[in-house]
Amino acid sequence: MQFFQNNFKGIAVCLCIAIPCWFLGKIFPLVGGPVFAILAGMLITLFVKNKTPLQNGVNFVSKKILQYAVILLGFGLNLSVVLQTGKQSLPIIVTTIATSLIIAWALHKLLRIPGKISTLVGVGSSICGGSAVAATAPVIKADDEEVAQAISVIFFFNMVAALCFPTLGMLVGFSTASGEAFGIFAGTAVNDTSSVTAAAATWDSMHHLGSATLDKAVTVKLTRTLAIIPITMALACLAAKGQQNDGQKFSIKSVFPFFIIYFVLASLITTIALQFGVANEAFTPLKTLSKFFIIMSMSAIGLNTNIIKLIKTGGKPILMGFCCWVGITVVSLIMQHYLGLW
């Protein structure tokens, strides 16, 4: 009852923002519900004079609900299919992830961009956009403004990619008789699932390929999602090392991303259930809830974000996001050409 009294108002506000943003994301998939939610939250908070009654609930949504979203994301992963696709796309996935992380680290040092924002932009750009940011933020203890900044940068370049990549695919000479090459390209070079889906579906529509490109792109994208596991584990180890260097008492509980274990368990449950004949549609409600939780969390993060400060400090993170995006795109094309996929 105490939890309900302390958190109800903030959770209710986040829910009221998330519901219309969910439908707006359906109408405008290139933008996506999370972007609408984070923008709505940032605008609404400008008109709220006293956020104290809301703060506990908003903080709960921005932290805990975000972790629940990542756990539920695991129910969208069939590890058997992911591993089959991984044999073909793994070299491209590994090199694009490494490229983004190296660029983010180099610009962090060169331009003195704050470490947590650099980590979120690098990981979000290289793995799976908002989901990767959601998984990484609790591990590195990023605040809501840092999360908002990273999400804004990543989703901006996702939109650009979804709009431009079908034309780029034509210019570089991807086969229009098959969706395989463009599907791998979209799955490795576009971050968020909604933008991957938009780009792949556009290619299918342009060349009358049914859903061949879309199926390939989404499977490759899900394969990339598994990189959340080693990345968060590595960041947890770095956080533990930082604790020791600062003379703090080491606590594995304070740095270990336990919610990632539940993410893996969810993936295993899905994989085993599908092997025993359970229909994939049985997990659709959980995957849908994961997406809604991300939108709800973004509304809370927006409510905790100073939009004026975000605009003033956004130049360098945008440059970093652009460099990561270009680097991933170029390396994906080079690797596909090297592997003879186009």
pLDDT digits (tens, 9 = 90+) for 137-195: 888 888 888 888 888 888 788 878 888 899 999 999 898 888 889 999 999 998 877 77
Identify which of 130, 146, 144, 131 has the alpha carbon closest to the alpha carbon of residue 55: 144
State the average pLDDT over residues 20-48. Answer: 87
pLDDT score at 255? 57
Place of tokens 């709220």: 48
The answer to whether residue 258 scores a pLDDT higher than 60 is yes
- Look up the pTM and report it: 0.78
Identify which of 124, 128, 38, 32 has the alpha carbon closest to the alpha carbon of residue 74: 128
| pLDDT tens column, 276-308 | 999 989 999 998 998 899 899 989 988 988 777
Identify which of 119, 145, 122, 123 has the alpha carbon closest to the alpha carbon of residue 132: 123
pLDDT score at 246? 59
CA-CA distance, 331 to 238, in Å (whole number)? 27
Q: Residue 28: is it exposed, middle or buried by C-beta count within 10 angstroms (0-12/13-18/19+)?
A: middle
- For the ranges 5-9, 17-21, 160-164, 324-328, the lowest mean pLDDT is seen at 160-164
pLDDT score at 149? 87
- For the ranges 197-211, 212-226, 236-250, the lowest mean pLDDT is seen at 236-250
- Residue 257: which pLDDT band, with cuts at 50, 70 and 90? low
pLDDT score at 244? 63
The answer to whether residue 336 scores a pLDDT higher than 80 is yes
- Residue 81: which pLDDT band, with cuts at 50, 70 and 90? confident
Q: Mean pLDDT score of the chain, rounded to an integer?
A: 86
| pLDDT tens column, 312-333 | 777 899 999 999 999 999 999 9
The answer to whether residue 61 scores a pLDDT higher than 90 is yes
pLDDT score at 9? 93
pLDDT score at 249? 58
Identify which of 239, 219, 14, 236 has the alpha carbon closest to the alpha carbon of residue 135: 236
Region of 112 please: left (phi>0), alpha (psi -120 to 50) or beta: left
What share of the chain has pLDDT > 70, as a percent?
A: 94
pLDDT score at 254? 58
| pLDDT tens column, 243-256 | 666 555 555 555 56
